[in-house]
Amino acid sequence: MADLVRLARHDDIAVITIDNPPVNALSPGVPEGIETLLHGAAQDSHIRAIVILGAGQTFIAGADIREFAKIVSGERPRISLDPFLRAIEDCLKPVVMAIHGAAFGGGLETAMAGHYRVIASDAQVGQPEVKLGLIPGAGGTQRLPRLAGVAKAVEMCAGGQPIRAQEALELGIVDRLLKGSLVEGAIAFAREIASKVPRKTRERDERLRDAAPAIFGFAREKARKLGRGMTAPLAAIDAVEAATRLPFDEGCRREAELFDECLYSPQSRALIHAFFGERTVAKIPGLPKDVKPAEIHRAAVVGAGTMGGGIAMTFANAGIPVIVKETAADALDRGMNAIRGNYAKSAAKGRLSQADVEQRLARITPQLTYEGFEQADILVEAVFENTVVKKQVFAEISKIAKPGCVLASNTSSLDIDEIASATARPEMVIGTHFFSPAHVMRLLEVVRGRGTAPGVIATAMALGKKLGKIAVLAGNCPGFIGNRMVGPYLREAQFLVEEGASVEQVNQALYDFGMAMGPLAMDDMAGLDIGWAIRKEFARFEKPGVRRPRVPDLLCELRRFGQKSGRGWSLYDADRKSSPDPETAALAEKTAKEFGIERRIILDEEIVDRCIYALVNEGARILEDGIALRAVDIDITYIYGYGFPAWRGGPMFYADTVGLNNILMRIQELQRKHGSDLWSPAPLLERLAKEGRSFVDFDT
């Protein structure tokens, strides 16, 4: 306990420091430690006021998230933080909370139990519990509306987004913003208020009265839209509403009931899995400890198309100067206009100031030559998805690049080793598969080739973080993790249309499952020509006589490439809004007739099973092949790259919740119906199901 929390006397002010690295979570021992030291300081007649702060990078990042699984499994009892917070609030001497870094979740709840709060100007406060499928469970939904007002409390508790120090000051969550030394400022503040009677947040009811009833209805509507399928945001709104209807103690009891419902829900297990998964994927087993990532100071991108432009913006947004090279002036102009257009949109929405836009644009140098490439620390190729074209580019850039320069390809499916063979330094070649739109999507799939040097892997992973992405390491195979799995997923969606489901039914069924968009809508957004090009590249691997979807090729032959050409699986207007197209339905019917495919009524359940189990089955093969390091790497790839609902934890975690044996039986049923070439259970799935294990067990 002594290690986790300590006390120092500064004349008449006691300073209690929480020192529980890395983020001062309220792990067992921390609340008890604070309470004991607080009690001692309150008894000490020389002490007039008490400051509580965090050591290291942050104040308190919240409850210890690792404890939740232990509570749910019954390994540990759930101990309410409420008595601890009341002990702070009931302290007879003023308690000043001094916040730096983050006061999140239980951290903000602890801060609000103090009588005063001071904050460093770059700190943040928030109630992000909903992102873990939880709600604030230590009075946050009761104290925050008393400080910040009901509307803001609803927004913060249901949305989970943190706010900055300045806003926290304006809202009344904190009392003073400090520049310079936090500890000195907090001690000085404590002396100022030392003679005042401590004010208890729980007794400050005045701001509860400004709650217009419409706030809650509006918030629920917004939560249903933004957090589609998630239960925690609605529970958080109920809890804040309780603060406006019930006395504090009863409000806290209601909050605790709602918190428990969330804690024991599959959604919080899934979201906590995703929270830790996001951090696990950065850890690469087997990478020698002495390997350090190289700093990326300058970058260059080849190709200013859809992806090249977005990748250039990503570098510029992270403060890295970048050259963009094209083959012709009109393509370069188109690319730069798209970049300018994207920045203008961000400025119009108030996300960037005009000065920011200009600063970022100034970091991007468009040109038609390789001039300056010799100074770059990384070169990213984003030209057409064609091995011959890519090899040509790699042969050129490897002649110009300086020693130590990383040579990266944005290929979404092609063989990294084959591309690397065009260079004299395959150890410097790696895949950096950004997702479209590259400046928005969080996922970066880093693909290691046979000869990729460990240092290059470390550099690409660290670069991902610097660019604000979540980097997942994949092995080299057609489609890597993400697109290899998308293959069978899309195949099933396309088969279902040929078998009688409408495009809209397929899209809706998976949207209702929680996917960000239906598979055929995703296909139309990515461009059907991309899949067409990939099918041509991989046609040599196809087994003769095995059924394959016919409609996508027919659509491409009609130049229906999806959103970009106004029609694909669906029709698109100028705003890219979709509507059903009878021509697609007619093509599906014609195809069924020609290939003897029986047309029938298909239930949504079959659509979801076939598409999602196709993902899971391929995921299991990827895992067994060592293409993904762990099942969680697949989950994170799908959540951040393909819009898989985080509250289902990713495809492999979802499979665990359904039960691998149930999935195996359904796949065996599909195998009997559709044949072993299309549906045969992955050996790993069979093995784990037989042993009664799960993919999560396989990871640990």
| Residues assigned a catalytic role | 109, 129
Task: In whole angstroms, give the CA distance from residue 612 to residue 29.
Answer: 43
Can you tell me which of 31, 106, 114, 568 binds ligand 3HC, judged by CB under 6 A?
Answer: 106
464 lies in the site for ligand 3HC, by CB under 6 A:
no
Smaller CB separation from ligand 3HC, 56 or 478: 56
663 lies in the site for ligand 3HC, by CB under 6 A:
no
Minimum distance from residue 121 beta carbon to ligand 3HC (Å):
17
Task: In whole angstroms, give the CA distance from residue 678 to residue 614.
Answer: 9
Binding site for ligand NAI (CB under 6 A): 302-308, 325-327, 331, 382-385, 389, 393, 410-412, 433, 435-436, 526
φ and ψ at residue 461, rounded to 5 degrees: -65, -45
Structure tokens, 597: 């495919």
Residue 410 binds: one of ligand 3HC, ligand NAI, none (C-beta under 5 to 8 A by kind): ligand NAI
Distances (CA, A) of 176 to 53, 98, 258, 299, 426: 15, 10, 33, 42, 56
Handedness of CA 396, 400, 404, 409 (dihedral sign): negative
Chain position whose Cβ is nearest to ligand 3HC: 105
Structure tokens, 344: 């203008």
Smaller CB separation from ligand 3HC, 272 or 534: 272
Minimum distance from residue 326 beta carbon to ligand NAI (Å):
5
Task: In whole angstroms, give the CA distance from residue 458 to residue 471.
Answer: 11
64 lies in the site for ligand 3HC, by CB under 6 A:
yes
Residue 129 binds: one of ligand 3HC, ligand NAI, none (C-beta under 5 to 8 A by kind): ligand 3HC
The count of chain residues that interact with ligand 3HC, using the rule CB under 6 A, is: 26
Q: Render 82-123 in DSSP notation, one character per residue.
A: HHHHHHHHT-SS-EEEEE-SEEETHHHHHHHHSSEEEEETT-
3-state DSSP helix/strand/coil % of the chain, to nearest 5: 55, 10, 35
Q: Pick the piece of the chain touching ligand 3HC (CB under 6 A) from 131-139, 378-386, 494-502, 532-540.
A: 131-139
Distances (CA, A) of 101 to 126, 144, 371: 11, 19, 42
Can you tell me which of 84, 104, 370, 373 binds ligand 3HC, judged by CB under 6 A?
Answer: 104
Residue 58 binds: one of ligand 3HC, ligand NAI, none (C-beta under 5 to 8 A by kind): ligand 3HC
Residue 139 binds: one of ligand NAI, ligand 3HC, none (C-beta under 5 to 8 A by kind): none
For residue 424, the 8-state DSSP code is: S
Residue 140 · residue 105 · CB < 8 Å: yes
Smaller CB separation from ligand 3HC, 22 or 288: 22
- Other CB atoms within a 10 A radius of the CB of residue 192 amount to 14
Minimum distance from residue 143 beta carbon to ligand 3HC (Å):
11
651 lies in the site for ligand 3HC, by CB under 6 A:
no
Can you tell me which of 23, 256, 490, 530 binds ligand 3HC, judged by CB under 6 A?
Answer: 23
Can you tell me which of 129, 326, 529, 656 binds ligand 3HC, judged by CB under 6 A?
Answer: 129
For residue 597, the 8-state DSSP code is: P
Can you tell me which of 61, 443, 522, 634 binds ligand 3HC, judged by CB under 6 A?
Answer: 61
Chain position whose Cβ is nearest to ligand NAI: 305
Helix count and strand count (H, E) for the chain: 30, 19
Structure tokens, 218: 């509006």
- Other CB atoms within a 10 A radius of the CB of residue 613 amount to 25
22 lies in the site for ligand 3HC, by CB under 6 A:
yes
Ordered alpha helix ranges (H), 467-527: 482-499, 503-513, 519-526
Q: What does the binding site for ligand 3HC look like in residue numbers (CB under 6 A)? A: 22-23, 25, 58, 61-66, 81, 102, 104-106, 109, 128-129, 132, 134, 136-138, 140, 276, 279
